[in-house]
Amino acid sequence: MGFKYTPDEDIKVHEEGAIKLICGPFRSHENGLPEWIKNASDAYAREDAPENKRVILIILCDKHPTGKPSISCLDFAGMTSADIEGNFRRWADPEAAVRGGKSKTKVMVQGGHGNGGKCYMTQMFDEYAEVYTVRGGYGNRYGVKSGSVKFGYIPDPERGRDFRITGLDVELEKALKPIKIKVEMMPPEALRALKLAEGFTLLTGVGPKEIGRRIPANKFAENLREHAQMIRTLGFCRVFLVVNGELFRDGGLLRLPEIEPLKGGEEPKEVIIPEVLKDPKTGDQISTTNGGKFAEGKLTLRTSDKSMRWKLKGRHIIIFKASSGYIGNIPVLGLDVQSSFQDRIYGECALDTLEEYKRNDRSRLVESRLTRAVEKWISDEVQKFARGFEIRELRRYDQAEKEAITRMNDALDQWKNRFLNKLMQGLWGPGEGIGDTEAVRLPGGKPGKIQVSLTHNKAGLGVSFRPVIKFFDEADRRIKQVPYKWVSEDNNVAMVDEEEMVVNTFAPGETRIYAESLYGKIRSNAVSLEVVLLRKVRIIPDVTELPAGSRQSLQAVCTLPEGEETSGVYLIWTEGNPEIARVSSSGLIFGFFPGETEVIAGDNRCISEQPAVIKVVESTGRGAGDKRGRGYPRVLVSEVNNDPDTDESVVFSSEYPPVWQRPKDVEANIWWINSAAPLASMYLDKRLDYGYKSREWRMYQLERYIDILVQIAMTHGPEEKETLAAPEWILKWGSCVAGIQEAAVSDLKTFIENGELP
């Protein structure tokens, strides 16, 4: 017997809450303004507007009568009150993009649910947002006040709805007046479109949020050209940018950036999507046509002569299209592709069965068996496409060259491991502390601010640790320390030793700690510290195996008197044999030499019941350990050494950095010296009187090793979570480079001079 029930006659929805929920993706000008422009383009598409009418103006004004800047979008389609009340004011309408149109084709209609433009109006303006629109001799003003999601006629339905106009150009002049532009100041294309028009729609938002008194026009123009939502619009319409009544640079016309194809990839690659694909998560076979109910799909891939990773990232996507048009995209960098030529590929995927998986903001499609299967298939196709260019670009080194370069690289790799061991022991040695150090050479100055922080806000009894203290001048630049003192608001709980500059804990309780300069009496922020009484300490995991040269975190689970468990307590960590492994104040283990040792944690009243056993094994370069450090790193040379997993050649483009890690290399702890980098390519070229035997190549190869060692030293030490401002980071980096260069000169002098392997 079938299921029977009596459905309610209505659905109860908290309208304001639901609207705010669906508006989340449009809470920025970068995502909101393209919605207005896209809606204008769709208005032209619905009425089959001729090309010379499809003009859109983006008008930025920071001289608005209200004193607040304004952002506007003008098209020459227009709306009636019936359009407003039957279409515009409807939320979450899947037919919003095509409703009310006379066009028989949906090819250029980009689609949507009628949410994006209204969401932008309700969320991103401090004053108000309005629609000033005319069609068929009648005008309407409709809008919303900041903080509300309820639209209405301005100032009321009697005066703001269906008021008769004397002329289209006269009414447009009136509408444009507050945003400091006159009709005759519009570009000639807009004036011609106005003569053909039956109406216009001017959207204006006053008091744009997150913007000061001046609108950054350059940034707006760049964002519009780069935004995925604008690709179809800029190809279909002529979009102009007007700033304070004047056309933006180059006549104000916004164009899609020109993308020159890669040599040999001038023609797009088209691939029919198979009828059945495999879901990589479940292994299920998924029909891409819903059993033949929909047409088969097609993937089109195109190439760029330059990397799209940075300057063309808005175009560096795979666009998804379905029956309603543009429904979403995925960044090519979001695909599972291992190739430097991934940066040169973009395209589109047309598949009608994906229609139901589009999101409100038409970004990445909703995850499902079908979308996972399609994205995996696209990744494979992009990988194959990229691999073809890799093979074509592969530089052909003869076997003797490969063997010689590999021998040199292996010798440097062994030196690197020995030196890295000494380097890390120094970083993890007896002088380890979490406080500020003068290793970073800071300028002097008069302090305007002191900043204090603690690594832990809870600590055991009888432990000692250094707070982190930093001094800044009035311009918020980091400067050297000046004479200061520490203050604890409750010395019974914890007190700062002025000689050692460490915090000593004495009794359970809470206190606040701050610093104060001796001259000028500049006081820092106060940080809270709770000293807790421990009943039990347990270290997890109790047995750890890690290769030499790698790290792994231990966790101390502390039981408090009330039975509560916590792992955020500062304790004393001690290792049995520091020659085998050392442990930091946060429980991070670094393995040095093969062997076995133990680690305990606790305070002066409670020690871990069982020590944690640490087994350090020989490093293979791909052993156990956390994902950021699996034994000592392995350094290889692209186009000389093959991928250890696939045994295929590895090719990077000249635009990639001199040293590089693909996503899978990070986990495997492999670094690549990019032989296609400009200097590397030159120094390996025998035709230029260099080659692998040249001193220049040896120096270059050694410098890349130093780059890798510095990055490891800066990110693998006991203070790996330390946050540094850019100038401090540069100073610390430079100091580290100088130290490693000094060691390299001492250890590798004969290699540098005559190529004798270390």
Cα–Cα distance between 728 and 734 in angstroms, integer?
10
- Tens digits of residue pLDDT in 373-427: 999 999 999 999 998 888 887 777 788 888 999 999 999 988 988 888 777 777 6
pTM of the model: 0.60
Query: For residue 336, what are its two tokens?
Result: 């599972």
CATH number of 449-531: 2.60.40.1080
At 119, phi and psi to the nearest 5? -60, -45
Assess whether pLDDT exceeds 90 at residue 758.
no
At 32, phi and psi to the nearest 5? -80, -50
Q: Are the C-beta atoms of 240 and 56 separated by less than 8 Å? A: yes
Q: Are the C-beta atoms of 617 and 552 separated by less than 8 Å? A: no
Mean pLDDT of the 37-62 span? 91
- Tens digits of residue pLDDT in 97-137: 444 555 444 445 565 545 778 889 988 999 999 999 999 99
Q: Are the C-beta atoms of 590 and 629 separated by less than 8 Å? A: no
Assess whether pLDDT exceeds 80 at residue 723.
no
CATH number of 15-254: 3.30.565.10
Query: Do the domains spanning 15-254 and 536-617 agree at the CATH topology level?
Result: no
Q: Mark 477-501 as b/e (b = at least 16 C-beta within 10 Å).
A: ebbebbebebbbebeebbbbeeeeb
Q: What's the pLDDT score for residue 284?
A: 94
Could you tell me which residues come within 8 angstroms of residue 555 by beta carbon, excluding any fewer than 6 positions away? 539, 540, 567, 587
Higher pLDDT, 442 or 323: 323
Q: What's the pLDDT score for residue 399?
A: 86
Higher pLDDT, 26 or 356: 356
At 517, phi and psi to the nearest 5? -70, 145
Query: For residue 555, what are its two tokens?
Result: 């966790």
Q: What is the CA radius of gyration of the chain?
A: 33
**What distance separates the 2 farthest-apart alpha carbons in the chain?**
93
CA dihedral 517, 519, 521, 522 (to 10 degrees): -50
Q: Are the C-beta atoms of 566 and 558 separated by less than 8 Å? A: yes
Reported as type and span, the H/E element at residue 695 is helix 695-716
Block residue for tokens 């950054």 = 216
SS3 of 303-316 = ECCCCCCCCCCCCC
Report in angstroms the alpha-carbon separations of 247 from 13, 57, 177, 219, 361. 45, 10, 16, 16, 30
Mean pLDDT is highest, among 20-24, 221-225, 346-350, 358-362, for: 346-350
Q: What's the pLDDT score for residue 627?
A: 41
Q: What's the pLDDT score for residue 345?
A: 94
Q: Are the C-beta atoms of 521 and 556 separated by less than 8 Å? A: no
Q: What is the mean pLDDT of the chain?
A: 85
Task: Domain 536-617: state its class.
Answer: mainly beta
CB atoms within 10 A of CB 254: 22
Q: Break the chain into its structural domains and give their ranges.
A: 15-254, 269-393, 449-531, 536-617, 634-754
Report in angstroms the alpha-carbon separations of 378 from 273, 313, 430, 703. 9, 18, 53, 38
Q: What's the pLDDT score for residue 653?
A: 85
* Inter-helix orientation angle 29-46/217-226, to 10°: 60
* Backbone torsion region of residue 81, taken as left when φ is above 0, otherwise alpha when ψ lies between -120 and 50, otherwise beta: alpha
CA dihedral 225, 226, 231, 234 (to 10 degrees): 0
Cα–Cα distance between 435 and 455 in angstroms, integer?
10
